Structure 1
Amino acid sequence: MTFNAEVLLAGPRGRRLCLEVAAELDPDVRNAVFQLGYELDPGRGTSVVMFGDLSKDAGSRPAASADTLAALLGSMDVPDLTEDLILDALQRSVMSARYWQEPEGEDVLAAIPAIRRALQRVAERAVVMEVLRADSRTQRQWAIDWRGPDDPAPLGRDPEKTLAKWGRAIRADELTWRESRRGPEWTGDWWSIPLGLTGTVGRIPAGLNLVEDYPGWERATTIPVDGAGRTFEIRSEEDWVLLCRRFPLEVSASRRWVWLRTTGREGRWVIPDWELVAREWDAVHLTVPGYLSCAGRALAVDERTGSVIAGWDPDRTIWLTDVVRETGEPRQYWRRSPNGDGWFPV
């Protein structure tokens, strides 16, 4: 599938990126997005609270509405974009992803048909940026250990054991949910990939910022690695669906309520059985286009079955077999800046 503006806007993370770019380019757009995002947020007044009165800053401007925002987006100047602007917007899109509850108000806003159409020009500028078009795993990769130089750790070397443990746990969890018939007040696991496997990224320090559900790490060790195994590339919805059809693992009971909140879809759910995938592939790479167009939305596996890419960062490779090795080049140590807007080497 060609990565174009329509494909970018098909995904919630792609729409959010475009909305973040537009807000950065125009202060009036930023103000309207802030107001409407708050109004549409499911946690408005509880988990999300606004202090002060925006109307005092808005002067004589009328209260924002989806129509007024669409008009602003339609009339704003959209210049050539810079890599820094795109990376900042991508970071905000990644860090606002949440697959265990309803989407943020800004994500709801970007999905409104009139807003989605109005973001078309921004999307057309964004998709030509090289940083968003990388659709293959690079040979040079970096593993990230979220600790500093005083606590070094080698790469994991037993993915088969990790996958076997994951497989047993996820099947036991699914059986527990099925037998207990838990209701919507319960929240189950929401990840689509196993935790504990070696994961690598192709760009540093960008990869330090592009982390879903970021827990607030302040230090990191980046480890130069190389792996020449068979890599399955997830560039589009079709690629993920192919894995789910060939290697389906039922997660309908455990994911029912959590992915209903995220996507609005209720029904049968599957994810790839990564133990079986590992018999054919050494690694699986979620490309940036694949992430932006697919992550967080219900992908149709067949007429009755859906799947979600969740908990997987853009341009991240997960290694299913023991083929990735340190290159012997020096590890690098990083610390997060005090204001939280980037990383600097130690």
Structure 2
Amino acid sequence: MNAEPELLLDGPRGRRLCLELAAELSPDVRNAAFSLAYELDPGKGTSTVMFALSSDDSGDPGFPGGAPSLEDLAAELQSIDASSLTSGQLAAARECSVRNARYWQEPAGEDVLASLPAVVDAFRPLAEQVLASPTWRSWSQPRRPEQWAIDWRSAEDPAPLPRDPHQALSRWAKEIRAEEAQAARDRPQNVYANFSGNWWSFPGRLLRTVGAIPAALNLVEDSFGEKQATVIPVYGSGRTFEIQTAEDWILLCRSFPLEVTASRRHDWFHTTGRDGRWVIPDWQLLAGEWDAVHLTTAGYLHTAGRALQVGADTASVLAGLDPDSTLWLGDVAREAEAPRQLWRQNPNSDDWSLVHSPGR
């Protein structure tokens, strides 16, 4: 598939990356987006409150001369010079996009703003610059043999890697079908009901690895804010299904569909606005053909958080799987001979430092 702007602009996480990147490149975009996103935020005035640092009689607080309009923002976006994009700027925008993903409630105001047609159209020149960058090429690479498993506990509390994926998948299959049956009996019929449950799209007990450390330590959806991590070197092989675009996720769902309508209906309605039947891949069946599934960063930005049409009346959402992560379905990954590493987040910073790398 050619690197068309839609690889970024079709997906809510790709659009959020564009908004964060534009705000970094232009203070005018940052100011306009802040004001407009606040007005679009579902928590306006409650969970989200704007505090004025200054005001005058001519417009909104902090925006002398009047509040910015959508047209003002679009004009600023189109005027951005992104010819000198750096890998650091792209990495920071990716972190913000991942950190703000949420699949259990309505999208934040920034995500709503980034989805408006006028804004999406104005993103196009910036998206083209991103897709032409060396960073984007690295974000589209398939799984590397060398991987890292992240254990958010201290290195003083060592634990083995998860093993026996077949048993884990068998247990998951029984549990998710039981959950779906119970949800169909017990959960409210009103899709607007303030009800949340299991919203992710994959089994949680399988070995999951990432391709780059320390970058992956900041690429965690629904993070608990951990400040230290034990990082375990892993070497894996086998048949790997690559998710490069939304079409790849759709193919998995069509080939191995598992209905999760009752258990996901409320959460995924809140995050996508769609009410209907939902499916995810049946990971137990999928394991009969594939040893691992790898989600590239490009695939994440194009796919995550969207209501993707799978069949005539079914759709799916990829939720909870972080960019450049691999889910191991077969028993083909092992801890490498290299030592484990302990990383800690620096105070008042998103950066991480290697504390020590003890021998095994």
Q: TM-score range by the shorter chain?
A: over 0.9
Q: 1:286-338 CA distances to partner (integer Å, 9 max, x unpaired)? A: 11111001100011101211000000100000101111011101111100111
Q: 1:68-122 CA distances to partner (integer Å, 9 max, x unpaired)? A: 1011112232232100000000000000000000001000000000001111111
Whether the 8 Å contact between 2:287 and 2:330 is mirrored in structure 1 is: yes
Q: Do residues 149 (structure 1) and 183 (structure 2) align?
A: no
Q: Matched residues in 1 for 2:55 and 2:312: separation?
A: 47
Q: Matched residues in 2 for 1:4 and 1:335: separation?
A: 38
Provide the alpha-carbon RMSD of the alignment: 1.4
Q: Matched residues in 1 for 2:339 and 2:53: separation?
A: 52
Q: Matched residues in 2 for 1:34 and 1:54: separation?
A: 15
Q: TM-score, normalised by structure 1?
A: 0.97
AA partner of residue 9 (structure 1) = L
Q: Matched residues in 2 for 1:193 and 1:53: separation?
A: 44
Whether the 8 Å contact between 1:148 and 1:334 is mirrored in structure 2 is: no
Q: Which one of the candidate residues 311, 318, 325 is aligned to 1:316?
A: 325
- SS at 2:293 equivalent: strand
Q: Which one of the candidate residues 192, 195, 204 is aligned to 2:204?
A: 195
Q: Matched residues in 1 for 2:11 and 2:96: separation?
A: 15
Match of 2:91 in 1: 87
Whether the 8 Å contact between 2:256 and 2:286 is mirrored in structure 1 is: yes
User: What percentage of residue pairs aligned between the two structures are identical?
Assistant: 57
Report the CA distance between 1:2 and its aligned residue: 2.4
Match of 1:300 in 2: 309
Match of 1:274 in 2: 283
Q: Do residues 261 (structure 1) and 265 (structure 2) align?
A: no
Where do residues 108-147 of structure 1 align in structure 2 (5 Å cutoff)? 108-133=112-137, 134-147=140-153
Q: 1:196-230 CA distances to partner (integer Å, 9 max, x unpaired)? A: 21111111111111110111111101111111111
Q: Matched residues in 1 for 2:305 and 2:254: separation?
A: 19
Q: Matched residues in 2 for 1:317 and 1:128: separation?
A: 25
Where do residues 139-218 of structure 1 align in structure 2 (5 Å cutoff)? 139-182=145-188, 183=190, 184-218=193-227
Q: Matched residues in 1 for 2:162 and 2:292: separation?
A: 14
Shift of the 64–160 alpha-carbon distance from structure 1 to 2, 3 Å rule, reads same
Match of 1:331 in 2: 340
Q: Matched residues in 1 for 2:168 and 2:349: separation?
A: 33
Moved over 4 A (4+): 53-57
List gaps (5 residues or longer) in structure 2.
356-360
Q: TM-score, normalised by structure 2?
A: 0.93
Report the CA distance between 1:142 and its aligned residue: 0.8
**Count of matched residue pairs:** 346
